[in-house]
Amino acid sequence: MERRTFLRASALSVGTMGAVGGMSGGAATASAAAPLRVQVLLFDGAEEQDFIAPVEVLGLGGRMSGGALTTTLVTTGRPGTVTCTYGTEVRAPGGWSPEKADVLVVPGGGYNDKTGPGVNRLVADQGFLRRLAAVDALRVGICTGTMVLSAAGLTKGRNATTHTGAKPDLAAQGATVVNARVVDDGDLITGGGITSGLDVALWLVERFLGAKLAQRVETVLEYERRGTVWRA
């Protein structure tokens, strides 16, 4: 199936038409022959938990599915090393390649530091925001990563969530703020709070690889999902 059609079909099945389709019921739509390609964006000041949790969950999901899901760490520009919120240095082997991604995960970090490293530098990068707005992929915001999507105009008039401290700003920028752990608005998925990356990633596994695999991933991680997955 052509990538654009694949993602559109997924969005319609899970919620944009108000109906819950086969994926939430357990059927997989990605496979080793046509894997779901996930890119996780890294940048200086990114919150460690925001991106490590999705990398762990999605990596395990990919392994347990026999390669039906791939995860790549990318930067906004060239490959390189980023320094995260608490000083962890992480090397991203590639730059962001929109044409090679079905899903782009944007973590948060540094939202309250308006002049330091973190999401505010992405928000100020108009070139990056234009590229982000033009992406034909499923956008996923973790914690204050949602505010980057908002700055690109992607949450206006949409259902979304973010960290509690940023919800007033998200609402002021035109989003309909939903007080849920995970908000799935079709081609836009957002998670509220730093640890929500675990639940967002498990929902991605369920949505694209099926409920049975998501449950197996939970069992291996010894983690029980929190809160509600709100669907349009």
The mean pLDDT value of the chain amounts to 90
Mean pLDDT of 59-86: 97
Find the largest Cα–Cα distance for the chain.
Answer: 45
* Chain-centroid distance, C-alpha 152: 15
Tell me the residue type at 4.
Answer: R
Long-range contacts, 221-227 (Cβ 8 Å, 24+): 221/56, 221/57, 221/60, 223/198, 225/198, 225/199, 226/181, 226/195, 226/198, 226/199, 227/180, 227/181, 227/182, 227/196, 227/199
84 assigned to active site: no
Domains, in order of start, for the chain: 36-231 (3.40.50.880)
The pLDDT > 90 percentage for the chain reads 85
- Which of 53, 143, 166, 204 is catalytic? The answer is 143
Statement: residue 18 has pLDDT above 60: no
Instruction: Give per-residue burial for 186-205: e unless 16+ CB within 10 Å, then b.
Output: bbbbbbbbbbbbbbbbbbbb
pLDDT of residue 29: 86
Q: How far apart are CA 219 and CA 47, in angstroms?
A: 25
Dig out the tokens for 132 from the structure: 């982000």
The answer to whether 60 and 209 are in contact (CB under 8 A) is no
The 3-state DSSP class for residue 32 equals coil
Average pLDDT rounded to a whole number, residues 93-97: 92
- pLDDT tens for residues 36-65? 999 999 999 999 999 999 999 999 999 999
Q: Summarize pLDDT for 196-215 with one digit per residue, the tens.
A: 999 999 999 999 999 999 99
